[in-house]
Structure 1
Amino acid sequence: MSRVLIADDEDSMRSLVARAIAMDGHEIVTAEDGAEALEILSRENGAFDLLLSDIKMPIMDGIALALTAARDFPDVTILLMTGFADQRERASGLDAIVHDVVTKPFSVADIRSAVARALASRKA
């Protein structure tokens, strides 16, 4: 299956999303913030199919992470998630590099579907 890197500063959300996506057989790697996610991406030479990141995080937010990841690892599909309308607005200008923005709260089925759509777009 696919390799997915999840970046979220909330332990419970990170673990919920990781478990949900793992149900579909994907290999999951997690990071507590954007800086750690970027470190993992760099260390593994961008060897991920999908970067799933929260937007609002300390140290490096999801927007900065998405911009850097898209520049350095253009083959990685990017999916963002947020519970804040203003953060969603910030991401709206990133259509060229971000597949979609998933609004929190979401169900396990919602996040699994969003990930499946993002991964399917890679093959198109």
Structure 2
Amino acid sequence: MVVNRRDVVLIVDDEPVIRRVLRQALEIAEYAVIEAADGVEAIAVLETGQHRVSAVLSDITMPRMDGLALVERLQDAHPQIPVVLASGVHTRESIPTPIAGRISGFLDKPYSRASVLAVIAAAIDRGAAA
């Protein structure tokens, strides 16, 4: 997969250190990156319409709006954007079935740079093919 410089990934995580590490990994791979600290901020970023987001990478456990609620909101408002969830607490199998069917990938924390890039690339490819 060749990354298209126009591919924009929205990172959603309440931990600044996690956002910074993900940003660095994705930018080295030539993705553009936008950050949000929770689902509420992510929705606000998307609602501005300033960015053509290619994929969302979201933690599950966050204040205000968690990753599961974010998936539901995105399905209604932006169904074309693939969503990858990440968690150090939850497993893919523990995600409620209706939400699990809506995500494009899952990352168990701790994850490697290679796994992040592979899952994001696959999600973007599936989103582009839809």
2:74 aligned with 1:69, yes or no? yes
Structure 1 segments of 4 or more deviating over 2 A? 85-88, 90-93
Work out the CA distance in 2 between the residues paired with 1:87 and 1:118.
15
Residues 82 and 88 of structure 1 are in contact (CA less than 8 Å); yes or no, is this contact kept in structure 2? Answer: no
2:75 aligned with 1:39, yes or no? no
Work out the CA distance in 1 between the residues paired with 2:100 and 2:50.
24
Trace 1:1-124 onto structure 2 (pairs within 5 A): 1=5, 2-44=7-49, 47-85=52-90, 89-124=94-129
TM-score normalized with structure 1 length = 0.90
Per the TM alignment, residue 95 of structure 1 is displaced from its structure 2 partner at its CA by: 3.2
Over 3 Å counting, the alpha-carbon distance change for 1:123 and 1:86 in structure 2 is closer
- The AA in structure 1 aligned to 2:44 is E
Residues 51 and 76 of structure 1 are in contact (CA less than 8 Å); yes or no, is this contact kept in structure 2? Answer: yes
Per the TM alignment, residue 88 of structure 1 is displaced from its structure 2 partner at its CA by: 5.5
Work out the CA distance in 2 between the residues paired with 1:88 and 1:6.
22
Identity %, equivalent residues: 28
Residues 7 and 54 of structure 1 are in contact (CA less than 8 Å); yes or no, is this contact kept in structure 2? Answer: yes
Work out the CA distance in 2 between the residues paired with 1:95 and 1:59.
21
Q: Which runs of 5+ in 2 are unaligned?
A: none
SS of corresponding position for 2:34: strand
Per the TM alignment, residue 91 of structure 1 is displaced from its structure 2 partner at its CA by: 4.8
Deviations 1:27-74 (A, max 9, x none): 100011111111101112773110110000001000101110111011
SS of corresponding position for 2:115: helix
Q: How many residues align structurally?
A: 124
Work out the CA distance in 2 between the residues paired with 1:90 and 1:114.
18
Alpha-carbon RMSD: 1.8
TM-score normalized with structure 2 length = 0.86
Over 3 Å counting, the alpha-carbon distance change for 1:46 and 1:61 in structure 2 is farther
